Structure 1
Amino acid sequence: MTAPGHDLPSGQDIPSGNDVPPTCYRHPDRETWVSCVRCGRHACPDCLREAAVGQQCVECVRGASSGGRAARTVFGGRQAAGAIVTWTLVGINVLLFLVELAKPSIGTDWGLLGYASYASGGPVQGIAAGQWYRLITSAFLPPATGLGGLGFMDILFNMWALIVVGPSLEQLLGRARFVAVYLLSALGGGVAFFLLGPPYVLALGASGAIFGLFGAWFVVARKLRLDVRGIVVIIGINLVFSLIYRSTIAWQDHVGGLIVGAVTTAAFAYAPRKNRTVFQAGAALLILAIIIVIAVLRAHHLTSQLGLQP
């Protein structure tokens, strides 16, 4: 299959047949359908330069290399070289996986659990019992099944996907927006499982956040008029596997992360240029507020229905 972030035409508009051909912003006499992936302006081949992600106009390239005002991506984020956030997330996930191998109980203590008791007559554990941190800590821990089990395959796939998709998204969105998409997707996936999954089942893994990045890449690719077939295939295959093996895979987490990642990125990508940063921040806070409200309502429902049970 085609991995997202590879072999995709960058900044290429698709004419509908009736569109008036745009012209280069520096050479008005030259028609071009190609645009800079950072500022979105159309430019002819003489005014474009190959970059780590797609093609950029000469002014954006010059701005990124100068010591002046920080350049902005096409979605309003601050342009930054490298993929520091992506590799930091990979490092945190791998480190906690190793810690979990040495101390498997951390998965029980930090995993996604709705509302249950680990032992008959024991204290009630879970999100509805006030352990809200489980919604985010569970997204950084795979199932504790050792190097030869499901946990190793889970972190192997998730980190591969993060390395493939993350750097491109980080450069296109900017670091702050990329972190927002990742964490909101992780929370959205966790809350979806909390809402729809059995409250007594423990769930672990970064799949909600990873599916959120899949959704984010789809939105970004559509916005930049790139080929989305590769990411659609990846999303489709993984959703099918999630539903086939629903007894061992938290499909709710996958779907929730996918939806939140796509919606958050859409708010970033299609924000109006006027007061764009304010709009994007407000949209992210609104999405976070909705996630919190759903979690609180679900917790209230569980405690009212099950709180008196032993």
Structure 2
Amino acid sequence: MEQAQVPGCYRHPGVETGVRCTRCERPICTDCMVDASVGFQCPECVRGGSGTGHSRTANQPRTIAGGRITAGDPHLVTTILIGMNLLVFLLGMLNPRLIDEMKLIGLAFDPDLGRVVGVVDGEWYRLVTSMFLHERIGHIAGNMLLLWLLGGALEAELGRLRYLTLYLVSGLAGSAFTYLLAPENQGSLGASGAIYGLLGATVVLVRRLNRDMRPVMALVVVNLVITFGWQNIAWQAHIGGLIAGLIISYAMVNGPRERRALVQWAACGLMLGLSLLTVVLRTVTLS
């Protein structure tokens, strides 16, 4: 049996190595490794990602998606998102009328508010506010646990801006899909669309890093069983968010290095545009 040849460092061809740059995937030896949030990067990618060759920024690697690694709490955005969800939950507990004003609904007469409500009636804000709304402790506890487990790692891997964009666009896609397929008078609320977007992104990222897929796929299966096996769950939000998360994250971590930012934001823009188009077409149909 022929023995596999170990590649040599691209900068020091005589030095064998099993490590590759996480950005360009060229083999690098210990003298060329620059520690990054995910594995190691080569000196050229570090300089290129920093935007200049100045010594002040030469050792500031970017994330696998090209995001800037900032100082401070690596889970800052995740913590803020959890805090916002908890705050809105508390306000809803103190004032149940807030839930009626903010939940996603197509068009219906609300006896508690004494008027017609819904996106069709011009209340488009419900597509976003419903993403931060929960009624039951078990509901918000499950969503926030997943947000912390999935979001913290994704924020560190993608960078704050890309991570926040992934979360919000996935959540909006989940709301749009629910608005399209759910009965017009059916209320919906929860961060599940955004959370499932993070779940899809985790699948893509684990695959990209060639890590063991079994734990994350088991998590996906369990959540899909809950989605379709549990009563009173807006499965449309879960599926819409999951699809958006898969598409956006694939563009973020697999795009070509030369036009990576363009591909990433084009994918985000595409999902945002499709979500808005879905909302417009559904509104026209129900009007």
Shared fold per TM-score greater than 0.5: yes
Instruction: Name whichever of 108-117 and 38-47 sits farther off.
Output: 38-47
Gap change, CA 1:19 and 1:142, over 3 Å in 2: farther
Distance 2:3 2:172 in 1: 43
Matching residue within 51, 61, 86 for 1:71: 61
Kept in 2: contact 1:48–1:55 (CA 8 A): no
Matching residue within 282, 298, 309 for 2:266: 282
Gap change, CA 1:21 and 1:154, over 3 Å in 2: farther
Is 1:178 aligned with 2:163? yes
Counterpart amino acid of 1:91? G
Distance 1:298 1:178 in 2: 28
Distance 1:196 1:41 in 2: 46
Matching residue within 217, 231, 236 for 1:232: 217
Is 1:220 aligned with 2:209? no
Equivalent in the alignment of 2:131: 139
Distance 2:262 2:46 in 1: 26
Structure 2 gaps, min length 5:
none
Counterpart amino acid of 2:106? G
Counterpart amino acid of 1:103? N
Secondary structure of the residue aligned to 2:9 is coil
Aligned CA RMSD, in angstroms, stands at 2.8
Equivalent in the alignment of 1:125: 117
Distance 1:140 1:129 in 2: 21
Structure number with higher relative contact order (C-alpha < 8 Å, ≥ 6 residues apart) = 1
Equivalent in the alignment of 1:308: none
Distance 1:154 1:195 in 2: 23
Kept in 1: contact 2:38–2:157 (CA 8 A): no
> 1:245-284 maps to which residues of 2 (within 5 A)?
245=230, 247-284=231-268
Distance 1:200 1:131 in 2: 14
> 1:19-98 maps to which residues of 2 (within 5 A)?
21-37=6-22, 40-44=25-29, 48=33, 53-57=37-41, 59=43, 67-68=56-57, 71-81=61-71, 82-98=74-90
Matching residue within 102, 107, 115 for 1:110: 102
The offset of 1:43, in angstroms, is 3.2
Deviations along 1:36-87, whole A, 9 cap, x unmatched?
Answer: 4466443346655776x543248589999x7426532222111224121111
Structure 1 gaps, min length 5:
1-16, 144-150, 304-310
Kept in 1: contact 2:46–2:62 (CA 8 A): no
Distance 1:73 1:49 in 2: 12
Deviations along 1:116-143, whole A, 9 cap, x unmatched?
Answer: 1113995321112111111111011112
Secondary structure of the residue aligned to 1:248 is coil
Distance 1:18 1:218 in 2: 33
Equivalent in the alignment of 1:194: 179
Equivalent in the alignment of 1:10: none
The offset of 1:279, in angstroms, is 2.5
**What TM-score, normalized to structure 2?**
0.86
Distance 1:18 1:129 in 2: 69
Percent same amino acid at aligned positions?
40
Counterpart amino acid of 1:78? R
Distance 2:169 2:7 in 1: 37
> 1:198-213 maps to which residues of 2 (within 5 A)?
198-213=183-198
Distance 1:121 1:97 in 2: 19
